[in-house]
Chain A
């Protein structure tokens, strides 16, 4: 809990000036209703008093009542708009710090990130909002505390006994709010889960429409949908009721309080000690008074939630970082001016001679898969192909080598020197990488290819990756917006785009994970030809590490590493491994039908 509080304090301090000004601006918004109540008191007292009093006085009071609200409204607009900056800046700093840690800090990010990017996003969205909102709650807290203190003083001066009795229902709200919030959150989560279950079942019904239709199982699937629908209804209704219950409870508290005032004031009113004006003041303060217990209850409820959020966010940071790195003031760029360009990559003086790994081991606990004790040697100028069956560990090996996965054992050396943190060492312009699944962003093609790198080598890189023709055919060329995750590109184009991205970085070692799965045989041949020619001519990556099962790649390889269920079962040239490795012979034969068909086709 103290960890959360210190994060809250640091969030207040990171832009203290704005926080304080914002809090100061909000204060009148919470406090001005005091004036409204006092005006009502005066007004109603006049209405029960002497009819000889000037009626204009009452009209002035009405005008003042409206005037107070006008002032309060203006201040509210000011305070609110001013406060947006602080809120957004706090959230942005937290998010940027996490993003930077995930993308640049030492140690692999794979173990820190949850399994799905949706889950990671939920943390950056909701957990960050939880922490910032918790800090932000301190602002209305000040206002409502001030109001409550003053209001209770005024009320106690009128009738101390009634005031004391009215504190009880308020305390009840303070106790109930965190309890009810917990219930509401549980019900909401349940409603969301069951709602998502319906949505995803509908999605599955339609993505599996072929399976359902061909099995004649559509009626059965609809019956299942009906059951899920019913469950969702019950959960959604419970959620809605619980949410309404909070408002109802507050309103009921006000109603009960008004009733209590009536009950307790009956005799005093008859005596004339408790005036109609006092009654109006009490009723107008009552609903404002519920603010304080609601805010306090809200904070009590948010604190444990904030602790969970903080814990989850800290888990996204690297092992050597802590909550301080989370709230570090790394400033924001909210005006039109853009953040500074990223510095160019430093000049290196140790070009690749040989990259080696000894006893590289990765163990995935949940599946028992992984790679075990892999030795490999990649000399400058070589073409290495990693091959193997589905699930043999090809991608795992590449990711482990690049420091993207935590290794259980093994060392990696660059020109004979041990690499302490491959994740931050084996980066451009030493190594560049195109993964198995093309990762593209909703931006221009140029931005996707460069990602901050200089465009000096872009035309050359596009030619090497056989991407130049595709770009020429796009309506806006490199400025084409390629849509969310690059959906506007075909599968093959997306893969070659990620190859361009790696090639632009002019690395010593180019690592391509199964680039060919979305390329036709002809394009793939062209791609290897161009890269090989460029390497010979000295203006392309000299060394290649490629995951592939395609013959075009295997035939070119200087060495092939054959993996079988996580173990290296063959190393050598194609002829050597075909000779010595039964698994290689099996894999080589399996491709035959497909490739023979393709050759038949291209011959015609």
Chain B
């Protein structure tokens, strides 16, 4: 991965100066205070043995207490500062990534599932953040503490200091190696646990099918098989895991033993006092935690690095729809005319032509019904009208301007789509209506909901517009999208009609709302119902990406040989 890709990531994670200084101060205090406390114990013991006054000793004891507690407090403050800082950095990175990914074209989103993007924008970012916070808190602070211990022990007795240094180096190398040993078995155990849980989850989701097909006992048996595999993986992991923990205990006991042995030897050679021996004992107890923290972080470093690489890949994606050099706005009010001229299209990922040679024209205020089998290309036409893609041949014009030259903001304001797959957000009714935009005041929102017939529905909600969106029926959800469309007053409405068989009352109501939505607007209707086709001005029949029939509805209906007329006849015969 090139450095230039890492820079935006580092930039997003970098803290501002004030926070950074506060953190440096806190980390220094959290390191210095625990290092200072044992000095007082040494003075206490040596002075006590030398027979100093109780007042003096009490003062030392109180001093020790103060230093120790201040050290704990400094550590808490460091934690607070470091985790805030890391979260701010990650949040910036997450927002940057989300903005970048949202800005990418539909071609990108067609090829990448939301789950994948959650992994990139959340999962990977969290891995990077976890490492960042741990790095500040654990690695830097731990290494400082470790260095401090070594320096002090050196000043006490250079020989013991040298021995401790060699010991630390050996332990560092040994623990890193050992950690690597544990990783595969721990990963296998985690995997076995994940398999166990996903097996259970799949079976629970299928409880009814399993019951009704008499597969209950069989399922319990397969669960036992998976549980057996889980136990075996856990057993192996626990052998290695507990072995490592025990080895760590032994290694640090050995370190303590080593330092104490050296201290005893120095004591007999007259080089140090009993208080200093206690001091050395306390310092050796200090080195365990930083070691464990650093080693743990080495493991996370790998994950974070992989996360950084994937994040960088996403940032490296470029949008494929060129922005207009001189953006031209659409007319701000009134219906918009539509013109497709010899349009051909193929999706960039497979290159298979989806549309060829489509020419259509709608005067402002006219409506067009597009009829065609699933996969015939009618949905693609609607995507081109919204400029989610550019045609590979020909041009699409709305309001007299080629879409490639239209200002994107004005396009989103003036062209509106109502799809049959209504996307509802887990958010309040208001957010679902405005899509998080500060669009209109609440009175207008209520009025729009009432206009589409959701007034009573809204009135029944406990917190009105602030109620989290409750479960909606298919019909209600469709009405909500009509309300969304009405809010922005578009000049062109592209509408993918719901195919689902709604109950009769809802269906009639939807049709009324649809007519109201299209009044005074240009409409392109992907039609699934004969009744909606009776209200449009023009009909286009699409098959295999080609326009097989196109004309005014009344003319086509009058021509007995037209496909449209055939359709109408079938409805009469069988209806």
Contact = CB atoms under 8 A, between A and B. Distances in A.
Report if A and B associate in a common complex. Answer: yes
Nearest to B499: A594
A77 B274 contact: no
B443 interface: no
Contacts of A120: 201, 204
A452 B102 contact: no
Interface in A71-124: 72-74, 76-77, 80-81, 84-85, 88-89, 92, 95-96, 99-100, 102-104, 109-110, 113, 117-118, 120-121, 124
B238 A80 contact: yes
Interface string B215-230: 1111111111101101
B109 A583 contact: no
Contacts of A21: none
Interface in A545-603: 549, 564-565, 583, 585-594, 596-598, 600-601
A343 B257 CA distance: 63
Interface in B254-286: 254, 256-258, 260-261, 263-265, 267-268, 270, 274-275, 277-278, 281-282
B225 to A, nearest CB: 6
Contacts of A333: 224-225, 227-228
B373 A601 contact: yes
B570 interface: yes
Interface stretch (A199-207, A349-357, A377-385, A460-468): A199-207
B217 A216 contact: no
A343 B220 CA distance: 13
Interface in A193-235: 198-218, 220-226, 229-230, 232-233
Contact of A266 (B48, B253, B268, B438): B48
Contact of B503 (A96, A121, A391): A391
A214 B416 contact: yes
A553 B158 CA distance: 92
Contact of A99 (B49, B219, B263): B219
B236 to A, nearest CB: 9
Contacts of A447: 222
Contacts of A157: none
5 contacts: A55-B268, A210-B423, A439-B210, A583-B504, A592-B575
Q: Quick one: which of A36, A223, A439 has the most chain B CB within 10 A?
A: A439
A112 B563 CA distance: 54
A484 B198 contact: yes
Nearest to A250: B72
A38 interface: no
B503 A389 contact: yes
A75 to B, nearest CB: 9
B529 A590 contact: yes
B552 interface: no
B216 A204 contact: no
A209 B417 CA distance: 13
Contacts of B95: 222, 225-226, 229
* Nearest 5 pairs of A and B residues by beta carbon: A216-B412, A452-B218, A73-B246, A103-B216, A259-B65
Contacts of A72: 246, 249
B264 A59 contact: yes
Given A236-B87, A263-B61, A592-B570, 5 more contacts: A62-B261, A103-B217, A199-B118, A203-B117, A339-B221
Contacts of A63: 257
Interface string B529-546: 110010000000001000
A302 interface: no
A243 to B, nearest CB: 9
A266 B58 contact: yes
A439 B209 contact: yes
A124 B197 CA distance: 9
A335 interface: yes
Interface string A268-298: 0110000010011001000000000000000
A259 B448 CA distance: 70
Contacts of B217: 100, 103-104, 342-343, 452
Interface stretch (A44-52, A141-149, A307-315, A471-479): A44-52
Contact of B54 (A270, A427, A564): A270
A176 interface: no
A292 B79 CA distance: 27
Contact of B268 (A51, A259, A335): A51
B352 to A, nearest CB: 18
B474 interface: yes
Given A55-B264, A198-B122, A81 B235 contact: yes
A434 interface: yes
B268 A218 contact: no
A435 B210 CA distance: 10
A332 B227 CA distance: 8
A332 B260 contact: no
B41 A262 contact: yes
B383 to A, nearest CB: 9
Contacts of A390: 473-474, 500-503
Contacts of B230: 88
A252 interface: yes
A501 B207 contact: no
A222 B98 contact: yes
Contacts of B351: none
B210 A103 contact: yes
